[in-house]
Each structure stands twice: as C-alpha cells, then as structure tokens.
Amino acid sequence: MEPTLIIPEAIATATAKVAGELATATAQLDFSLWSFIQKSSGFMNMSWGQVTMILVCLVLLYLALAKGFEPLLLIPIGFGGLLANIPLVDIGGTGFLHLISELGVHNTLFPIMIFIGIGAMTDFGPLIANPKTALLGAAAQFGIFGTLVGAAFLSDFIPGITFTLKECASIAIIGGADGPTAIYTAQKLAPHLVPSIAVAAYSYMALVPVIQPPIMRALTTEEDKKIKMLQLRPVSKIEKIVFPIAVTLLCGILVPESASLVGALMFGNLLKESTVTDRLSDTVQNAMMNIVTILLGLAVGSKLSAAQFLTPRTVAIVFLGLLAFSAGSAAGVLMAKIMNLPIFCKDPKKRVNPLIGSAGISAVPMAARVSNNVGLESDPNNFLLMHAMGPNVSGVIGSAVASGVLISILGG
C-alpha cells in the first residue's frame, strides 16, 4: 500500500513546486510590465505640453476632414504634428520627418517646387487683359509692410514678447496669405518660427470666406458692390508666352532675391502656356504638386513640438498674422475705391468694382471666389470672378516680390 501513498505525495509536491514557480514568474512579469510602462511606454512619459499639441493637431485634422479647410495641407501638417509629439521616439527631431524637413524645408526646395506647380495651374490672362488690376495686388501687400511695423511696435511696448526685425518680417509675410512664400521667407530669416508661421498662414488661407466678407461689406456701399465691369478682352497666345519671361526678367533684375520664387512661378506658367510641354505641365500640376504638398505638410507638422509652439510668442504670431491678413484685404478694397475717383477714372464705365480689391492677396483662387460671391449678394447678375482673378494672380507675384525685398534688406 505504501507505493500508492507515495504517488499522491509526489504529485502534491510537484504541484506545489510548479505553483511556486508560476507565482514567482507572474510576479516577475508584473514587475517587468510595470517597469516597461514606466520606462518605455509613452503614457508615463508624456508631458502636458505634448498632450496639448496632440489636441491642437487633432483640431487641425478635424478642420480639414469635417470642415474642408485646406485639407490637402492641414491633414499632412496635423498628422505630422501627431507623430512629432509621440514621446521618447523623437520622430520630428531625428526620425524620418526630420529627414524630410532637411530635404526640402531647410534649403527652401519644397516652397519653390510648390510655386512651379502653382504657376502651371495659373492663368494670367485676366491680369494681362486688365493690367491696372495689378495695382490692387500691390496695394494688398500693405498688410505685409504695415504688420512689419506693428510687430516691431509690439516688441518695444509689450513686456515678455520680443521679436527681432527678421522675425517681424517673417511674421508680416503672413499678410500675403501665401503659405509657400511665408515658409520660404521664414526659413530664410527666422527658421525657428517656421511651424507657427506656416500653421497661421494656411489657417488664414482656409478662413478667407470667413474673414474677408465682413471687411468688404464694411468698406463698400451698395452702389460700389453693384458696379459692373467691362468684359475682359481676349488675350493672345503670344502675350501669354511673353508674360512669364518678361516678368521673370523684370522682377529678377529689380529685386534679385525674388528671382527664386517669381522664376519658379513663371517657369511653371511657361510650361502651361507654351503648349509644347504638355507632358511636363501635367506632371508638375499633378504628380509633383501632390508629392511635394504631402512632404511639405509632414515636414512642417514635424516642427509642431510643444517646446517650439506653446509660447506667448506663438499667440502673438497668430494675432499679428490675422492683423496682416485683414490689413491686406482692406488695403486692396480701398485702393479700388481710390482708382474710381474722378481724378483717376474719367470714364464711369471703366470703374473697378471695389470688391475685387480684396482678391489682391495671394489665396488663389479662394479670394477671387469670395469677391464674386459677395458681389452676387447685391446683384445676382454681376459676375466678378474673372475680374477678381487679375488682382488675385498679381497678389501672388506681389507677395513673392515683397518677400524678396524683405530678404534683401534684412540680409537673409
């Protein structure tokens, strides 16, 4: 009978031993898991600043996905910002996003390539047909130079917020409502401000239909809004081919620092208008433009770290950017009203509808559409879209030239 008693005892001993080993292993596993959570998991290593920036990036994604605000760029920027704020891995500082930024933002390659694409998609015919609308695009640049003074004033009189002159110029360029130009200028003059300036510039571009109409209504009368402009003359093919070449030479010689942006813009336009490079034009408008837009958005988003973005200076940049944008829109409207004065316009039939003045900023073609929509509110038969495209495309050239002037003066 003793053997039968030994077997249960042996089984009990073995079971107790296995249970002890399992308990020890479980305790070690629990300790290792907790140690992993403490040392290697992002949950225990995430700062409140990173949480805040992740929320900001989620808001950008929401605006792009749900509201349709600049989705082609806000989605890459927002997603790049999410990746940049994941703790411990530093994707934006040393990871693949940093490599993208080094590839095309630090050397300003991406903004220039974007300008080639914009040129290939732009029709300068309305500007060629009515050259005086270039004055409206030039007037809209007042927002840039006016805000340059305002930013310097803010630095001198508000404690805790200081900007150098180069930083003031980089912020002021937001008034052109041109994202690539803003990034290009900021990278030349104040690289550390590129994320804040880029987000502000593209946000205000997306908010053109919200910001501009109240300004336009406040500065125009009902009579102004109902002004009907003469139909634009046809523009010949030779004019459209000569225009980009002439503008490149003129701007390049007068303001050499503007040659990169203006030259890229006009090169893209020449590809479009020549009709002998359709394959290149199609590639620039579609494949290249899409790829560069994705890379530029991710690169800018990679800089949306809490340390760089969550500062009082960022709030000041957003405020000054709004001021610049609003001032540029208002200056264009007021210039149109000045052009309509009897001393400058002898023939009432040749008057300019002041609503197209606000299209002098560079947000193509959104600003022109807003001018047209506000005009249709007063007269459903008064179509201003093509007339507004003149100052709109001249604003693109104007902001690039303004950027060149600032870089030349401040030694970027």
Give backbone dihedrals phi and psi of 171, rounded to 5 degrees, phi first: -70, -40
Instruction: Establish how many alpha carbons lie within 13 A of residue 154's alpha carbon, considering only the half-sphere containing its beta carbon.
Output: 25
Q: How far does CA 94 lie from the centroid of its chain?
A: 24
Q: Which residues of the chain have pLDDT under 70?
A: 1-14, 16-45, 92-93, 412
What per-residue confidence (pLDDT) applies to 31? Answer: 53
What per-residue confidence (pLDDT) applies to 1? Answer: 45
User: What DSSP state is assigned to residue 257?
Assistant: G
pTM, rounded to two decimals: 0.85
Please state the domain extents for the chain: 55-303+312-410
Q: Name the residue among 286, 290, 314 with its Cα closest to residue 198.
A: 314
206-232 pLDDT, tens per residue? 788 889 999 999 999 999 999 999 999
Q: Which residues are within 8 A (CB) of 324 and not within 5 positions of it... i.e. 6 or more apart? A: 143, 144, 146, 147, 150, 171, 172, 173, 174, 175, 176
Cα distances (Å, whole numbers) of residue 76 to 79, 82, 104, 374, 404: 5, 10, 15, 31, 28
Distance from the first to the final alpha carbon of the chain: 99
- Burial class of residue 200 (count of CB atoms within 10 Å of its CB; 0-12, 13-18, 19+): buried
Instruction: Establish how many alpha carbons lie within 13 A of residue 41's alpha carbon, considering only the half-sphere containing its beta carbon.
Output: 9
What per-residue confidence (pLDDT) applies to 359? Answer: 93
Q: Name the residue among 296, 283, 288, 264 with its Cα closest to residue 397.
A: 264
From CA 271, how far away is CA 111, in angstroms rounded?
A: 18
What per-residue confidence (pLDDT) applies to 255? Answer: 94
Q: Which residues are within 8 A (CB) of 153 and not within 5 positions of it... i.e. 6 or more apart? A: none
What per-residue confidence (pLDDT) applies to 34? Answer: 54
Peptide bond into 8 cis (omega under 30): no
What per-residue confidence (pLDDT) applies to 26? Answer: 60
**Contact yes or no for 138/392 (Cβ under 8 A):** no
Residue recorded with tokens 């490149």 = 248
| Three-class secondary structure of residue 226 per DSSP | coil
**Contact yes or no for 158/312 (Cβ under 8 A):** no
Q: How many CB atoms lie within 10 A of CB 87?
A: 13
Q: Which residues are within 8 A (CB) of 305 and not within 5 positions of it... i.e. 6 or more apart? A: 53, 84, 85, 92, 93
From CA 118, how far away is CA 364, in angstroms rounded?
A: 9
User: Residue 214 corresponds to which tokens in the numbers above?
Assistant: 């109240």
255-288 pLDDT, tens per residue? 999 999 999 999 999 999 998 999 999 999 999 9
